[in-house]
Amino acid sequence: MLTQREVLLIKISWSYLVALEQEIGILFYSTLFELEPRLRPMFGASIDAQAQKLMSTLTYVVSCVQNTENYERDLEELARKHDSYQTRPEHYELVGKALMITLREVLGDNWDDETELAWVKMYTFLSDKMIRAQQQFASSSTLIN
């Protein structure tokens, strides 16, 4: 999956962000809703709690980035939750784009092409796993019905 250098780049860049968790979460959702305003109704009235969940999840993922096997079950559970929210595969692409824009903006000079590639690679891995898990839920429920 990720090289040791990519893992290091992700962890170093995340270390700059930890103190700004709430601001980053809010900025992320503002960016996401700018990219696709039709997603706004999928979220509650207050984005603060959602921003905290996002940042908590990202902190967890970054802490486990070297051993993705450790959180594969967690990804399946997260995919199940997102399936219940009617998240579609194209939403993951928008979320990834909003995340990269947010990270680039907040990290400024600490963001470069190599760091972006590492984050894109990690996010693509995660989103692909979640999309596949959601597709399995959908086919399982079709078989049951």
pLDDT tens figures, 113-122: 999 999 999 9
Which amino acid is it at 78? L
pLDDT tens figures, 73-113: 777 777 677 666 667 778 889 999 999 999 999 999 999 99
Phi and psi, residue 119, nearest 5°: -65, -40
Domain ranges for the chain: 4-144
Q: Which pTM was predicted?
A: 0.86
Mean pLDDT for all residues in the chain: 85
CA dihedral 47, 86, 105, 129 (to 10 degrees): 130
CATH number for the domain formed by residue range(s) 4-144:
1.10.490.10
